[in-house]
Structure 1
Amino acid sequence: MDIEALHERGRERIGEFGATLDVRDAVVETAGAIFTRVYTEETQQGRSLTTVAAAALYVACKQEGAPVTSSAIADAADIEHSHLLRRSKWVQTEIGTPVDTFNPKPFVDEYANTLGLSDETRELARNVVTVATEEGVASGKSPSGFAAAAIYYAAKLRDETCTQDDVHEASGVSKITIRNRYQEQAEVVGDVTR
């Protein structure tokens, strides 16, 4: 198969993953461009088209601030999570653009929308993320879990009805993770409504 046909197939796979995950068209287009750039005659040998396509989508999601987890992409592509992460690092090296993988704010926005929370609670959750990150408690944490905890914390501070169960349902983050991240955030952030 010639490289143009492989590029077309890779972009189709990215489109399928994007549709499954309800990713914006702009992110899918960015992923397609990344895939075309990194999947060449020289680099295709020994690299699964599906894994590289999924990795390109993951990198594009990070670049565009789309709230999609690596595990969701791995599930959509039916590949091992560890293979996706390894290939994503390779993609970032190939395009020469390291991507900050810790950005919980798009997740905060998505979860706040899903839960129907007020703009004030959303903004407070974003502030919790900022302060907790500056205080160093975000290191090594999942952005989706960190955002879910911040949403729960902000809702509690603003007396909006939002339980750990509600946040778990909206985010898919375990209640244990929400509770642990919430406790870590509360220790360093305090009551930021004052």
Structure 2
Amino acid sequence: MAEKIHLPKTIVDRANAYYKQVHDGKYLKRRSYEAIASAALYIACRKEGVPRTFKEICTVSKVNKKEIGRCFRLMVKASDTQVSFISSKDFMSRFCSNLNLPTSVERAATNIAIMAVNLDIVPGRSPISIAAAAIFMASQATNDKKTQKEIGDVTGVADVTIKQSYRLMYPHAKILFPDDFKFSVSIEQLPQF
């Protein structure tokens, strides 16, 4: 699975260690080996600082997102492993790189996502959805515009979800962008849905 998403051997080794640590435990009885391995890979990625989404792990596994999530929660409980919360910032660099966006757009999108969360503009939204909407907003303010579909293809977030998060952010655009951001279009010219 790790080879399919180009993960280094250190992550594979860590995932193997997590797998061995819990695979015989009472918490994971009646769980498939594939689900346990997928959850172990997910944990290892987060611990090594290169988090992947459940959807990304699902694409290389034969297990659905729900089952990987269950195993993840059980493994964290069984191994007493501390797993930090993920934030939009954790994914921003990879997503922007995959979209061939310049670092100025990445910095702006990161700022937008952080501010949106800190100001509680996007309550209940996942960090991935927030990142996707922030990338959309930042790219629309430059000459490096990306569509919701392009961003959705890279992030795994549905177009409509990007639009919903963006709608929440749009009224606050003036305070979400960094002060030194170089706009190609005015904030008033950003798309309104």
Please give the alpha-carbon distance, in whole angstroms, between the structure 1 residues aligned to 2:150 and 2:59: 23
- SS at the partner of 2:4? helix
Superposition pairs of residues 14-163 of structure 1, within 5 angstroms: 17-40=1-24, 45-163=29-147
Please give the alpha-carbon distance, in whole angstroms, between the structure 2 residues aligned to 1:85 and 1:44: 13
- SS at the partner of 1:19? coil
Please give the alpha-carbon distance, in whole angstroms, between the structure 2 residues aligned to 1:187 and 1:153: 12
What residue ranges of structure 2 are gaps of 5+ in the alignment?
180-193
TM-score w.r.t. the length of structure 1 is: 0.79
What residue ranges of structure 1 are gaps of 5+ in the alignment?
1-16
Greater helix share, 1 or 2? 1
Please give the alpha-carbon distance, in whole angstroms, between the structure 1 residues aligned to 2:9 and 2:133: 29
- Give the root-mean-square deviation of aligned CA atoms: 2.3
Residue in 2 that maps onto 1:8: none
Cα deviation per residue 1:52-102 (whole Å; 9 max; x = unaligned)?
111111112222332421123234221132111111001111222342343
TM-score w.r.t. the length of structure 2 is: 0.79
CA contact (8 A) 1:103 1:143 kept: yes
**Identical columns (%):** 25
CA contact (8 A) 1:70 1:84 kept: yes
CA contact (8 A) 2:35 2:71 kept: yes
